[in-house]
């Protein structure tokens, strides 16, 4: 099923221009790069949601001053959202694009022996996102043109000793979003699941070989080259054959990853 979804196709989704964007995880470096690229291409309305309110305001001021965009901000904590009882759907609103980049690597070594850290990694990468995705993917909204772009990770493709809690969370997120993707088959709403490899950000400093790291700016340009694409895709593209190889590695070799 994932292989079918991997055959991403470009489809006409009403007006191909993106005039408004909702961004969850807006202070991540890739989200900031995408926001700048969107604004440079004529997106004039943003709603930025992030945990770090101060950094969010800095980005909002930049988009308003440099591009003349109308920007609203909101502070949200995914760990708190995941722990809410009873769970509630946040108010989202109507946008051309819903972009979700929120997530956290967490402390992989600590999570091996600390159940609290293991649960926090799960909450930050899938549990805390569920209320937002549920609020976006309503029958009424999916019946109209729009886009949902969700950042997953190549770590979802195979459990690895170095980060299996993070990989498990991203695998769950991918399955959740693939369900929404297939639910949108034949509809004008396009779901795009991005299995991103390493990016040159503060999150990966010292954790990834520089040669395997793409810049957030290059990822933003790749995404907006075909804004109406739907399906599961790897960025940069060469992660697709690389992960195909990693998925079939014998256990003794995979154990060294």
What CATH code is carried by the domain that includes residue 86?
3.40.50.720
Paired strand residues for 232: 193
Q: Do 155 and 163 form a contact (C-beta atoms < 8 A)?
A: yes
Q: What is the pLDDT of residue 94?
A: 96
Q: State how many domains the chain has.
A: 1
Paired strand residues for 151: 194
Mean pLDDT per block of 10 residues along the chain (257 residues) reads: 39 66 96 97 97 96 98 90 69 95 93 95 94 96 97 92 94 97 96 90 66 86 93 91 87 79
Report in angstroms the alpha-carbon separations of 51 from 4, 46, 88, 103, 252: 35, 16, 18, 11, 40
Query: Which candidate, 74, 89, 34, 23, places its Cα nearest to that of 225?
Result: 34
Dump strand ranges (E) for the chain: 9-10, 20-24, 45-50, 70-75, 97-100, 146-153, 189-196, 229-235
Please classify residue 240 by burial: count the beta carbons closer than 10 Å to its beta carbon, then call 0-12 exposed, 13-18 middle and 19+ buried. Answer: middle
Q: What is the pLDDT of residue 246?
A: 87
Q: What is the pLDDT of residue 125?
A: 95
Domain that holds residue 34: 2-254
Q: What is the pLDDT of residue 82?
A: 66
């Amino acid at each position: 099923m994932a292989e079918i979804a991997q055959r991403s196709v470009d489809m006409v989704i009403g007006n191909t221009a993106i005039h408004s964007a909702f961004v969850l995880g807006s202070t991540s470096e890739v989200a900031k790069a995408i926001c700048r690229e969107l604004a440079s291409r004529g997106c004039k309305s943003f709603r930025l949601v992030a945990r770090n309110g101060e950094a969010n305001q800095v980005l909002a001021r930049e988009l308003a001053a440099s591009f003349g965009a109308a920007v609203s901000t909101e502070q949200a904590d995914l760990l708190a959202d995941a722990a809410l009882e009873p769970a509630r759907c946040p108010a989202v609103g109507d946008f051309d694009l819903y972009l979700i980049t929120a997530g956290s690597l967490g402390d992989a070594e600590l999570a091996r022996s600390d159940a609290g850290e293991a649960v926090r990694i799960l909450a930050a990468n899938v549990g805390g996102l569920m209320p937002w995705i549920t609020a976006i993917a309503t029958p009424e909204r999916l019946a109209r043109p729009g886009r949902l772009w969700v950042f997953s990770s190549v770590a979802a493709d195979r459990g690895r000793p170095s980060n299996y809690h993070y990989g498990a969370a991203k695998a769950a997120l991918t399955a959740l979003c693939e369900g929404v993707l297939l639910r949108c088959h034949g509809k004008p709403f396009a779901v795009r699941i991005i299995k991103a490899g390493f990016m040159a950000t503060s999150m990966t400093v010292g954790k990834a070989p520089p040669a395997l790291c793409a810049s957030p700016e290059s990822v933003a340009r790749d995404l907006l080259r075909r804004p109406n694409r739907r399906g599961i895709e790897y960025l940069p593209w060469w992660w697709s054959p690389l992960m195909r190889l990693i998925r079939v590695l014998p256990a003794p070799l995979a154990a060294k990853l």
